[in-house]
Amino acid sequence: MGTGKDKTTYKDTLNLPLTDFDMRAGLIRKEPAIQDRWKQQGLYGRIRKARDGAERFILHDGPPYANGNIHMGTALNKVLKDIVVRVKNMAGLDAPYVPGWDCHGLPIEDKVMKELGQAAKDLAPIEIRRRCQAYADRFVGLQSDQFQRLGVIGEFDNPYITMHPEYEAAVLEVFADLIDQGLVYRQLKPVHWSIENRTALADAELEYHDRDDVSIYAAFKLVGGQLDVLGECDGATPALLVWTTTPWTLPANLAVAVRPGYTYAFVRAATAKGTMLLVIAEQLVEKVAAAVGAARPAFLQGFQVVGTCKGQQLLDANLTYAHPLLEGRTCPVVPAEYVTLDDGTGLVHTAPGHGAEDYGTALKCGLDIYCPVQDDGTFDATAPEFLRGKDVWQANPMVIEALDQAGMLLCQETIRHSYPHDWRSKTPTIFRATKQWFIAVDRPLRGMTGSEKSLRGLAMDCCRREPDDDGVEFIPAWGRNRFAGMLDSRPDWCISRQRSWGLPIPAMFNEAGEPLMTPNSVLAIAATFERLGADAWFTATPAELLGDYDPAADEALDNPEAFAVDKLRCGKDIFDVWFESGSSWYAVAMKRGLVDTIPVDLYLEGSDQHRGWFQLSLLPALGSRGQAPFRTVLTHGFVVDEDGYKMSKSDGNTIDVIDQLDKRGADILRLWIASQDYQDDVRCGENLIAKAEDAYRKIRNTLRFCMGSCSDFDPARDTVEPTEHSVDRWMLMQIHQLIRDVREAFDAYEFHKATRRMYEFCTVEASSIYLSAVKDRLYCESPDAIRRRASQTVIHLMLCSLVKLLAPILPHTCEEAWGHIPAKPADWPESVHLALLPEYDEDILSLAGDIRPVSADDGKWALDELRTGPAGIWDKLMDLRGAGLVKLEALRNAGVKKTLDAEAVFKVRAGDDEAMQIIETYRPELEDLLGVGYARVEFADDLPDGTTVDVEVLDSRERYERCARSWKRRPDVGSNEKFPDLSARDAAVMEELGKGRQ
């Protein structure tokens, strides 16, 4: 030791951290490699095997639409699901995950049609379907890759695909059940209609262009009800004044709607038919007078408001009016909240066959869905004679003329407005009632024993009942209310669409146009679809589709003789895609044997699915099984930008998932997701994800330091139980509390709490307090020193616990870390994802549970309190640490830069021998917790009132020599003659090492 003053010499005698675990993550490079390895190992299958026979937990995946790249919202959803699945599997449950895709539907068909352009017109449905299928396949593959790049684990080799034959067949099986329950019916409903192409159109197939139309004011003469609600008519003809831009729909008029809350005025005015008493919304009187007066100045002669009443009073008076075009038809006044004062008269012409709102009103008020317009746009025989055979555009002037003749036309004008056009033919569309298929939500189910309930009734029961009473659990809890509200207000479910890309509604029609669609006929077709796919609907004959099915043997048919199989033709409607995805609980969860019976454990989607997939899965499940498909419905909010506004491409505030994956890696993105309270909207931006990256580094470095500190530690050989008064014991309590808190947060799906807890644990308990404190003994003690091994024991436990607890959130990083845990027991699984989450020890927690806040009032350490348990004492010791750190900071500013150059003096109230004894017991730990070179204890009689122990820090540079090995300044430096530059401890270690080397 001739160069004993040279500290580099001693550096070689220290046990410095040693590990291959990279400080820099390199996620972009490593993650794909780790994912490849998982694939090669068949990790998912191995997890399944390992959990075989364990209690099941089924998170049933809601299928994303197979169109486009995934976006941040999809990533949020999938990662949350993945965390759930991983947590459950690591909790020892058998939690398979079968991802799925929704493949049918308009967006894909639209994309394909647009790509085809004009060529699309001449293509048969089967051709369009094949192209759509190829398109969907492409995006299923793309999204599957993207999900797996996010680290999502599941049965990606065999996902569920709604366009696959077995899935299509399963949907029809559910449908057959609903038919059996008497819930499926056919009825008129207005849809957008292209006269040019004689086809129904979806919203997405409409283009809005400006168009000039005639608008008219027409009077409907009141003929019935309590007309005295209008007051004295005084010879005037009482009439309702309506305004419309589609005079051709007047033949189909069945009612006039008013808003109950509005005030209506009675206006005397001169018309061609003499003086009338017109009902007009009070606020629109002037506007109407101006409009009509401009065209017909005479209208204003004697114009005056003679009275008013509320819309509700008009309704209560049960008024009826004579239809202006049809002799003998009288119609009612009905309420409607969609009536506005923006234009018109505040009274709305209602033709249920020609308008969506009118249709809704008709359902509420029991009006017919009447539509005299045929598919070519011409009027049928029920229309007034002068219109029959004419098309709606020809009809407009003729209707106006007829009204004028009758003296009921007050004026007409031309207006330019935005009007829907068929995107293919560019011709204007109309609203026209057509026959559609529905699922009734208010009809009592037929076949459920002992149930008089309707789907709505059963569904409301599911959300009214509490989870422990066979009801559905909602997370967050307000989902229950929202879900119920949406159920309560929903109309019957229109399940038919007039498109090509979808599952055909298995209705066949005889020559009389009557449908054949019974449970058995549908099941027969289902069997065919299972073999051949739904394309068979377009290529096979009805006889082939029906197979062995014989109408004559079908008890569900009243008149089987009317349905000769060889005379049937297939219907052209397809299912609403929601019916397909809404049957997945059966087509996937049950058909694949994930569950024997519903409900499954969990559905987890965005809160938009309250009205979407959740509701539309519940209804078929109730109709088919009388059971909800889910036990728990968990929703998350939407991804919004950093300022809380919705993301949109046009605003340029979107964050691209793939960009982030390429730039930062999946684990960063996952950590960001896991740290969000997803119940509300989730703010997302470059800065926010960058924060997650910072947090990631902290976590990673903590793990790394733990590994480095345990490089020579083998738990099987070196484990040492931490002594009662060591900081290791304190850390042990912290670890068990961590495990408990994180597992509780996992169980409650509060991943952000789990994540925060672990992150702050790494920052505070681990890095700042514990690891800093034990550095000296790790580095300087001899390798086998009890004190050192005890700390390594705790650090190793902490490392293993953290890696497992973090694995559901950071699967790649934890897999990498798993491979770097020193002396990992040989019987531990190859992958962390096959491991189980750590358990916490109740006994250790109960030590912590003994914590009682030491009364702040007297500030006195009653010895009873000190003896309530280690945790109680440690609370106080940590307070002393805090106080000492503040004083060290002051000392640092006064020139003592290194805390090892300071000594701490703990002052105990004179005479308090027991407090003295306790502090003396913990003195070595306090020394390291403060990072000072030396700590001593002394009695003091100048402590402030209420203080039992205080801490002072002193500059020890003049007082003690500095140990050249541990860098601590303490009185025992030089006490060993062989090592005059070392403290007693370090000198002893050097001697021991020297012996060891000999």
Partner RNA sequence: GGGCUUGUAGCUCAGUUGGUUAGAGCGCGCCCCUGAUAAGGGCGAGGUCGUUGGUUCGAAUCCAUCCAGGCCCA
CB of 674 to RNA, least distance (A): 10
Among positions 272-291, residues that touch RNA (CB under 7 A) are none
The minimum distance between CB 957 and RNA, in angstroms, equals 12
Q: What is the Cα gyration radius of the chain? A: 40
Cα-based angle 129, 131, 133 (whole degrees, multiple of 5): 70
By CB under 7 A, name the one of 882, 946, 994, 996 that touches RNA: 882
Cβ neighbours around 297 below 10 Å, total:
10
**Smaller CB separation from RNA, 632 or 711:** 711
Q: List Cα–Cα distances, 623 to 433, 518, 746, 852, in angstroms.
A: 27, 15, 34, 56
Nearest to 336 by CA among 247, 255, 238, 433: 255
**Among 95-103, 149-157, 361-369, 960-968, the segment contacting RNA (CB under 7 A):** 960-968
Minimal distance in Å, beta carbon 547 to RNA? 38
Window 771 to 810, contacts with RNA (CB under 7 A): 771-772, 775, 779-780
CB of 808 to RNA, least distance (A): 18
Q: Which CB sits closer to RNA, 516 or 795?
A: 795
> Which one of 175, 529, 705, 713 is in contact with RNA (CB under 7 A)?
705
Residue 695 lies near RNA (rule: CB under 7 A): yes
DSSP H or E segment with residue 622 = helix 613-625
691 binds RNA (CB under 7 A): yes
Binding mask 500-519 for RNA (x = CB under 7 A): --------------------
Vertex 523 angle, CA 519 and 529, to 5°: 145
Cα gap 831→605, rounded to integer Å: 29
Please, what's the b/e burial string for 31-66 (b: 16 or more CB within 10 A of its CB; e: otherwise)? beebbeebeeeebbebbbebbeeeebbbbbbbbbbb
Q: Nearer to RNA by C-beta: 103 or 900?
A: 900
Pairwise CA distance, residues 836 & 87, whole Å = 9
Q: Rounded to the nearest 10 degrees, what angle do helices 811-818 and 786-806 cross at?
A: 150
List phi, psi (to 5°) of 219.
-100, 135
Q: Least separation, in Å, of the C-beta of 567 and RNA?
A: 39
Query: Binding marks (x or -) toward RNA, 21..40, rule CB under 7 A?
Result: --xx----------------
Contacts to RNA from residues 453-482, by CB under 7 A:
478, 481-482
| Distance between CA atoms of residues 509 and 56, nearest Å | 45
863 forms part of the interface with RNA (CB under 7 A): no
* Residues 63, 581 contacting (CB under 8 angstroms): yes
Beta bridge partners of 348: 257
Cα 209 versus chain centre, distance: 36
**Taking CB under 7 A as the criterion, which residues in 353-392 touch RNA?**
357, 360
Which among 308-316, 432-440, 458-466, 764-772 is the span making contact with RNA, rule CB under 7 A?
A: 764-772
Distance CA 587, CA 170 (A): 5
CB of 610 to RNA, least distance (A): 7
| CA distance linking residue 480 with residue 627, whole number of Å | 17
Contacts of RNA in 85-144 (CB under 7 A): none
Q: Least Å distance between CB 10 and RNA?
A: 5
Q: Interface residues for RNA in 341-360 (CB under 7 A)? A: 357, 360
Q: Is 955 in the site for RNA (CB under 7 A)?
A: no
- What are 616's two structure tokens? 């539309």
Tell me if 892 contacts RNA by CB under 7 A. yes
Cα→Cα distances 641→317, 361, 601, 658, 661, Å: 53, 39, 32, 17, 18
Q: What are the Cα distances from residue 638, in Å, to 641, 660, 882?
A: 10, 18, 42
- In the complex, least distance from residue 88 CB atom to RNA, rounded to whole angstroms: 22
Count, residues in the chain:
998
Sort 717 into a burial class: Cβ within 10 Å, 0-12 / 13-18 / 19+.
Answer: exposed
- Given a contact cutoff of 8 angstroms between Cβ atoms, the answer to whether 112 and 131 are in contact is yes
DSSP 250-315: GGG--EEEE-TTSEEEEEEEEETTEEEEEEEEGGGHHHHHHHHHHH-GGGGTT-EEEEEEEHHHHH
As measured in angstroms, the least distance from the Cβ of 772 to RNA is: 5
Q: Give least dist CB 740 to RNA, A.
A: 16
Give, as ranges, the residues between 636 and 655 that touch RNA (CB under 7 A): 637-638, 640, 644-646
To RNA, the closest distance from the beta carbon of 776 in angstroms equals 7
Q: State in angstroms the smallest separation of the CB of 979 from RNA.
A: 13
Question: Using the rule CB under 7 A, is 166 a contact of RNA?
Answer: no
The packing angle between helices 751-760 and 686-709, to 10°, is 50
* Shortest separation between residue 717's beta carbon and RNA, angstroms: 24
| Residue 640 vs 908, nearer CB to RNA | 640
Under rule CB under 7 A, how many of the chain's residues touch RNA?
Answer: 78
| Contact pattern for RNA over residues 839 through 858, marking x by CB under 7 A | -----------------x--
* Shortest separation between residue 641's beta carbon and RNA, angstroms: 8
Report 708-747 residues binding RNA (CB under 7 A).
708
Give 363's DSSP letter: H
Q: Which is nearer to RNA, 180 or 605 (CB)?
A: 605
CA distance 96 to 895: 62
Residue range at the interface with RNA (CB under 7 A); choices 63-71, 285-293, 781-789, 885-893: 885-893
Looking at residues 599 to 628 of the shown chain, list those that interact with RNA (rule: CB under 7 A). Answer: 606-608, 610-612
- In terms of DSSP bridges, do strands 330-335 and 320-322 run parallel, antiparallel, or are they unpaired? antiparallel
CA-closest candidate to residue 242, choices 180, 306, 334: 334
885 contacts RNA (rule: CB under 7 A): yes
CB of 885: closest distance to RNA in angstroms? Answer: 4
CA 663 vs CA 213, 517, 528, 658, 687: distances in Å: 55, 55, 49, 8, 13
Of 206 and 562, which has the nearer Cβ to RNA? 206
Give the range of 47-55, 137-145, 662-670, 703-711 binding RNA by CB under 7 A: 703-711
677 or 841: CB nearest RNA: 677
Closest distance of CB 832 from RNA, Å:
20
Whose Cβ is closer to RNA: residue 55's or residue 694's? 694
Q: Helix 727-747 vs helix 751-760: angle between axes, to the nearest 10 degrees?
A: 160
Give the residue, chosen from 297, 302, 485, 994, that forms a contact with RNA under the rule CB under 7 A: 485
> 476: cis peptide before it, omega within 30°?
yes
Q: Which is nearer to RNA, 725 or 887 (CB)?
A: 887
Nearer to RNA (CB atom), residue 760 or residue 875? 760
Q: How far is the CB of 619 from RNA (least distance, A)?
A: 15
